Amino acid sequence: MIRRCVSHISDPAVFGRVAVLMGGPGSEREVSLQSGAGVLEALHSRGVDAFAVDGIPALVDAIRDGRVDRVFNILHGRGGEDGVLQGALRALDVPFTGCGVLGAALSMDKLRSKQVWQSLDLPTARYAVFHPQRGEDLEAAIASVGLPVVIKPSREGSSVGISRVFDASDVPAAIELAARYDGELLIERLIVGDELTVAVLDGEALPSIRIVPAGEYYDYHAKYVADDTQYLCPGIDDTAAEAALRELAARAASALDVDGWCRVDVMRDRDGGFWLLEVNTAPGMTTHSLVPKAAAVVGIDYPSLCWRILESTVLEGTVLESATPEVAVDSGGAA
């Protein structure tokens, strides 16, 4: 089946003045600044009147001063991906990229994401919830999942505060690391297999990417620093399995009320089964990031991808005529 990824707007003036929101005070600040710099350069290359804004307070000031017509949100993590920004911009009647309040809030909370998926029989790994301050039985929580496990904060991203635990003696250190971040902790069954990610753009899943780090794990260093991580796209050679993964990713995003664009992270176990991990509603857009890599495979270069994401703030389902060429995306990942 052929899907059409089409740019409908050709005149950058339609967007007005665009604030590219980045940075902020959170744990993903540096990555967000890198992503924002890339987006800003891309929009400028296409003639968009865009400017950088560091953090939500500065954005609100710019909106009050009448300097913002719409927002390209690339503020990763807290504030930018948890519904706070989305709620503020809805109240201020300013269009913005990405999903709305509900989608952002659900996706940022890994526990609630899993609960929604479970209710719809979408596959996600067995887990337990642990509250470090409540004196709960940690051994019982670990036992209910069974080693090996992944211990992580339920509301952080970019591999922040995450540990893989194979031996019970390593549990306390993992809990201590994850507990540096507020909120409950997620103790999740470790899925051994391939790490995959699928970008979803306007409801259509792009080709998957299989991530092959040089080290044992795809951690923060492998994501944003190392140059020896391999990214294989499409991530699965089997056409039927690749199509099933893309369908699962699109369903997972839709289940959390995520539209516009996002990235769905998935594990594939040794038996070929898929397990949903999380949805990122303002994914990285750095030189190492995955959404631009998947888009490039189907003929959407970085500036065009930023344009496509931004034009969703104007279109909202309206089909317009454009001289911009269409890019065909087929179910096998070729363009």
Check: CB of residue 266 under 8 Å from CB of residue 198. yes
Give residue 105's Cα distance to chain centre.
13
Q: pLDDT for 31-68, tens place per residue?
A: 999 999 999 999 999 999 999 999 999 999 999 999 99
pLDDT at position 55 is 97
Residue 302 among the catalytic residues = no
Tell me which of 27, 158, 208, 312 is the catalytic residue. 158
E strand spans, 65-147: 70-73, 127-130
Check: CB of residue 305 under 8 Å from CB of residue 312. no
Q: pLDDT for 89-102, tens place per residue?
A: 999 999 999 999 99
Residue 278 among the catalytic residues = yes
pLDDT at position 214 is 72
Distance CA 322, CA 49 (A): 20
Give residue 88's Cα distance to chain centre.
20
Residue 73 among the catalytic residues = no
- What are the structural domains of the chain? 127-189 (3.30.1490.20)
**Mean pLDDT along residues 308-326:** 60
- Of all residues in the chain, what percent carry a pLDDT higher than 70? 87
Residue 246 among the catalytic residues = no
